[in-house]
């Protein structure tokens, strides 16, 4: 009796999580269709957003867009994990919001880029 109740509650919780994930992704898709990207970071100001030249760019064969969560491995063995704000083409930098601060990373110092999640995508490969 107890085990059956526990299984039912677990199934309901799993279904709720899946539906919530799908709803959040659909909401991001709607924002993308309206050319809006919502970044939940209080430390980003309009001045920081104005530094960005482009919101869609590619480094090597990796296409990156504002709102994507990425991890950048640098040549000096340090790494930065955060949300992409955009890129500054003139300075050749990527602007990433890492926790509570903004980091500008020069493209010459990037060793490897790993995309953790794409904005508005269900799966990373799609």
pLDDT for 7 equals 95
**Half-sphere CA count of 126, side-chain side, radius 13 A:** 6
pTM: 0.69
Report how far residue 18's alpha carbon sits from residue 41's, in angstroms, rounded to the nearest whole number.
24
Which pLDDT tens digit goes with each residue over 21-49? 899 888 888 887 787 777 777 777 778 77
Tally of residues, the chain: 126
pLDDT at residue 20 above 60? yes
The 10s digit of each residue's pLDDT in 65-110 is 888 889 999 888 889 998 888 888 888 899 888 887 888 899 888 8
Angle value at C-alpha 72, between 66 and 76, nearest 5 degrees:
145
Are 112 and 77 in contact, with CB atoms under 8 Å apart?
A: no
pLDDT confidence of residue 123: 63
């Amino acid at each position: 009796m107890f085990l059956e109740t526990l299984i039912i509650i677990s199934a309901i919780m799993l279904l709720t999580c899946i539906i919530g994930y799908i709803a959040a992704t659909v909401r991001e898709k709607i924002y993308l269709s309206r050319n809006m990207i919502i970044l939940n970071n209080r430390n980003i100001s309009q001045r920081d957003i104005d530094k960005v030249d482009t919101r869609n760019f590619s480094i090597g064969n990796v296409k990156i867009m504002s709102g994507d969560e990425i991890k950048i491995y640098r040549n000096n063995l340090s790494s930065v994990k955060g949300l992409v704000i955009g890129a500054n083409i003139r300075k050749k930098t990527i602007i990433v919001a890492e926790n509570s601060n903004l980091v500008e990373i020069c493209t010459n110092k990037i060793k490897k880029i790993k995309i953790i999640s794409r904005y508005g995508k269900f799966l990373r490969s799609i």
